[in-house]
Amino acid sequence: MKFEKHFPSDRLKHYIKYFVVSESEWEREYKVFPSSGLVIGFQYKGQLLTVQDQT
């Protein structure tokens, strides 16, 4: 699994906290915790699974 955090240029740092690139050859579940900011994800390969209401 590859997980890289990249910080934006000085012109964008007031709007974007950081970019994350995550790559994996295997399907896996991961958690996205709530925050006060917007999270946008792009998937370019594989399958996506949404799990809801599991306690």
Give residue limits of the domains in the chain: 1-55
pTM for this model (two decimals): 0.56
Label each residue of the chain as H, E or C: CEEEEECCCCCCCCCCCCEEEEECCCCCCCCCCCCCCCCCCCCCCCCCCCCCCCC
Question: Token pair of 10, please?
Answer: 């000085």
pLDDT at residue number 28:
65
Summarised one tens digit per residue, pLDDT across range 19-48 is: 888 877 776 666 777 778 887 777 777 776
Contact 22, 36 (CB under 8 A): no
Residue 55: pLDDT band with limits 50, 70, 90? low
For residues 26 and 4, is the Cβ–Cβ distance under 8 A? no
In the chain, what is the straight-line distance between the N-terminal and C-terminal CA atoms, in Å?
27
